[in-house]
């Protein structure tokens, strides 16, 4: 499991660390300040890396070797993605095969090919998307649900968004009323049949 803070700091745990956690939970991440918050978490396999994404569209791919797995729950967090003063981290995504989708505050979706080279921790990564702030990033799902600040929900098939190389603005997906912004998005995956 990888946790990401808004300042780009990561904490990586083995899932075995959570076998005997009481129902009330257990503090697992010690943050540097009251202003720092956890913004994203993902579970990835031992052979998967992660992609750390910033609000300004920067992305940093980390390999499994770049992820310092904590042996105890109270180990210190480490630098993940290096951010500009006016940027913040928003999402961590397991990085495997397939394209990535980026939902942006203006209701646009950018589909990006995953031909990124790993950079290592504490670097700024690549500019993956441009334009409005990124709200969420995820591996290409079957569909995308988008919720705006006015309370309107829309769902789109992800196959409607052609993957391009990095640096794109994306295409209009959700129609937004004036003054509204996208506040969240999630990938919807078809249930695998057995």
Determine, yes or no, domain membership for 134. yes
The CATH number covering residue 92 comes to: 2.120.10.90
Asked whether the beta carbons of 144 and 187 are under 8 A apart, the reply is yes
Give the CA count within 13 Å in the CB-facing half-sphere of 9.
Answer: 14
Overall domain count for the chain: 1
Strand 100-104 with 134-139, pairing: antiparallel
In the three-class reduction of DSSP (H, G, I as helix; E, B as strand; rest coil), residue 103 is classed as strand
Query: How confident is the prediction for the chain on average, in pLDDT?
Result: 83
Confidence of residue 76 (pLDDT cuts 50, 70, 90): low
Is 193 within the bounds of a domain?
Answer: no
* Domain presence at residue 94: yes
C-alpha distances out from residue 28 to 14, 31, 73, Å? 12, 10, 5
In tens, the pLDDT along 79-110 reads 889 999 999 999 999 887 678 889 999 999 99
Question: Which domain covers residue 148, as residue numbers?
Answer: 2-21+29-188
Residue 194 inside a domain? The answer is no
Closest by Cα among 106, 31, 60 to 39: 31
Task: Give the pLDDT mean for 129-149.
Answer: 90
């Amino acid at each position: 499991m990888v946790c990401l803070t808004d300042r780009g700091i990561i904490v990586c745990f083995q899932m075995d660390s959570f076998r005997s956690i009481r129902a009330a939970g257990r503090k697992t991440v010690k943050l540097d300040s009251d202003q720092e918050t956890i913004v994203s978490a993902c579970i990835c396999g031992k052979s998967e890396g992660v992609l750390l994404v910033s609000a300004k569209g920067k992305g940093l791919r980390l390999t499994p070797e770049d992820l310092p797995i904590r042996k105890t729950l109270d180990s210190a967090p480490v630098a993940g993605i290096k951010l500009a003063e006016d940027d913040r981290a928003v999402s961590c995504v397991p990085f495997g095969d397939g394209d990535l989708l980026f939902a942006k505050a203006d209701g646009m979706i950018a589909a990006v090919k995953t031909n990124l080279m790993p950079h290592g921790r504490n670097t700024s990564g690549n500019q993956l998307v441009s334009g409005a702030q990124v709200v969420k990033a995820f591996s290409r799902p079957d569909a995308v649900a988008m919720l705006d600040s006015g309370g309107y929900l829309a769902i789109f098939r992800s196959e409607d968004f052609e993957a391009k190389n990095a640096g794109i603005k994306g295409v209009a997906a959700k129609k937004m009323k004036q003054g509204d912004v996208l506040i969240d998005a999630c990938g919807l995956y078809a249930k695998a049949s057995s």
